[in-house]
Amino acid sequence: MLLLHKLRLLLQKLGFSMLNLKLISDSLNIIVCFHVPHSMDHQELNIWSFWKGGLSWSTSLNPSIFLLYLIHFGAVYYALVCPRPPPTATPEQIRLFKKFTEPSLLRGRASIKGKTVREAQKTFRITRVDEFMEVGTYLRVHVHPKRFPRCYEIDWKSRIIAVRESYVVLDKPAGTSVGGTTDNIEESCATFATRALGLTSPLWTTHQIDNCTEGCIILARTKEYCSVFHRKIREKKVKKLYLALAAAPVPIGIITHYMRPINMAPRLVSEDCIDGWNLCQLEVLECREVPWPVADIEAKYSIEECGWPSKKKAYECKINLLTGRTHQIRAQLADCGAPLVGDSMYMPAAVAETTNPGLNPFGKCQKQYTSEEDKEMDVTEWIARHGKEPAVAIGLQAYEISWDAGEHVYNAGIPWWKQEQL
């Protein structure tokens, strides 16, 4: 909190007025009110040293340097015009908003000439420390970016599967982000793979897999090939096969669910076709019994204790992903009573439903509700039975990716749960 206070003072000194329009503890929302002459010395940013400082953002860190790190991480955004404050905004925040969005003032700003207010309120990431922010510009500063310390533990060159003229194939480690997050584009597979290969142009993200999933991803070497690969995905020319380590056996064949169209975790699914919900399909090609991972391997990959009653046997499933929804394999297998090993988000809810059938308002043993209010209450309680996102790995690997009818085929290495067999 002390460092945050120092950062506030620094920004105020530089002519920024704190709005906190979103009222979110991890972001500052600011309007540039005036300019003062100021220069910031060039600093050699030691990201590894910064990480070693921990997640608490040491109060000994100079606020100016801290701000440089936030810009380097991609945690600072701007919009030419401030968005409308929320209902919780204070009278002073409302006053400042009205002052800097006054039509007569906006008409005098050359930067927004020819733009609608909605267009001018679109946010963009600040990428340089010397970018000029004119009076009236809105800034959003994410003061606690999501961190990915595992990036510094990986031998990235050893994770490169193939380098081609148009793309790079990477065996993504679990516990890393493919292309970064809203507040951290520094600690990502795309960034570290670019550096490992010594490329002068950054690699482009063509598709995503969860942070806790390992395996094959395709990174485009140009913006043009990124568009080409996106089109292949849309045209269903890309095939993805997964290895899933489930806590219980899964039936062979196609499994169909429907996913609630709300873009937040946990993802809720139902075997019943519900109006407006998205079709989810996967095909289980194989399911074989294997030993549960040994304790040393679980510790190495931070596999979390999720309350599964027996840890003698697990089940390795080969899965053809027919639709590509976020968390699809995790949510579908959990609904089948076979959550993935280490999945601290979905396994606790699966255990609860197994112990007390009927808790899941969309499950096989769902209740018959007499009112929508009762059902919404149970939905809220069901969501609360899910846990947090896994810290590093779960039993899921994107083990093969292919496209153009098998013309291009790439495979990942040995999944983490088989490492003790090497």
Catalytic residues: 210
User: CA nearest 112: which of 89, 93, 137?
Assistant: 137
Nearest to 131 by CA among 48, 74, 201, 46: 74
What are the start-end ranges of the E strands in 260-407?
Answer: 269-270, 278-291, 313-321, 396-403
Cβ neighbors of 12 (< 8 A, separation 6 or more) are: 18
Cα separation of 237 and 293, whole Å? 35
> How many residues does this entry show for the chain?
422
- Strand 278-291 relative to strand 269-270, pairing: unpaired
Specify whether the CB–CB gap between 191 and 180 falls below 8 A: yes
Q: Residue 398 to residues 112, 209, 212, 260, 412: CA-CA distances in angstroms?
A: 45, 8, 11, 24, 7
Distances from the Cα of 59 to the Cα of 4, 85, 102, 195, 298, angstroms: 9, 30, 38, 30, 35
